[in-house]
Amino acid sequence: MAILSDKVAVVTGAAMGNGEGIARVLAQKGAKVILTDVSDTVFATADDIKAKGFDAVGYKMDVTKMTEIENVVNSVVEKFGRIDILVNNAGVIRLANFLEMSDEVRDFHFGVNVFGLWNCTKAILPVMVKQKYGKIVNMSSVTGPMVADEGETAYASTKAAIWGFTKALARETAKHNITVNAICPGYILTPMAEQIARESNPGDADSVIEQIAGGVPVGRLGHIEEIGYLVAFLASDEANYLTGTQVVIDGGSTLPETVSVGVG
């Protein structure tokens, strides 16, 4: 069902992982998808989506650099005349205990996860206000707002900040027919999840994934397309009365009262 027919969507961090899953599903649902990422892989991902008969174009873009963002936004508006959907998905994580964490690692997290989201929204929101329509979906996490493990202080802080940003911006933009919502994924099988597994147990990362999956009530990690389906709903007119919320998609991993999911 093409619930996003003719909508123009910008997805950050779309080269792989959740961003790739989001971009693929939005395209399948009828949107013209602009994939952005700091990695050149974004072009191959966009080309693969196009090869399957959907509308997609890739841009190399660093969310920490406002000039690059503005260049992409100007190009998209010139080509399509509008931007209906912004998915602030770009994110990073580096595990380090608080007392051992350098300021550079701290700033790296905030630069991408918080200020990158801020920059992209700042550049695209005026377009949405002018057209009196927009859907903004921010990628938070269960980590930070709800749970945390050792070594996640910087990451958790940034993901919690996204929740506050979402609520406040939703209040400001409702009068412009713009909704702002956040998604809080749990364990999704992404390159980031695999990286965490390798850092937790460099000798046997697969066992870490299996252990995590064993602690998730549904018995597995999520798929990137499942994040995409949720984004597609929040970005559609079916969700017009939904704003300022955070939606948890974690296979029930935050449900157990007496079992801790994770390693360490």
**Which superfamily does CATH assign the domain made up of 8-188+223-249 to?**
NAD(P)-binding Rossmann-like Domain (3.40.50.720)
Calpha distance 177→43 (Å, rounded): 32
pLDDT of residue 196: 74
> Do 60 and 264 meet the contact criterion of CB atoms below 8 Å apart?
no
CA atoms within 13 A on the CB side of 129: 11
What is the tens place of the pLDDT at every residue in 3-44? 999 999 999 999 999 999 999 999 999 999 999 999 999 999
Per-domain residue ranges of the chain: 8-188+223-249
The tokens for 219 are 């018995």
> Do 166 and 244 meet the contact criterion of CB atoms below 8 Å apart?
yes
- Report residues of the chain scoring pLDDT below 50: 263-264
Q: Count CB atoms within 10 A of the CB of residue 155.
A: 24
Phi/psi at 167 (5° precision): -65, -45
pLDDT of residue 259: 55
pLDDT of residue 185: 97
Calpha distance 128→115 (Å, rounded): 20
pLDDT of residue 191: 84
Catalytic residue check, 59:
no
Which of 238, 135, 120 has the alpha carbon at shortest distance from 177? 135
Q: How far apart are the first and last CA of the chain?
A: 43
pLDDT of residue 260: 52
The tokens for 28 are 């399948």
pLDDT of residue 198: 86
Catalytic residue among 155, 187, 229, 241: 155
Phi/psi at 85 (5° precision): -135, 135
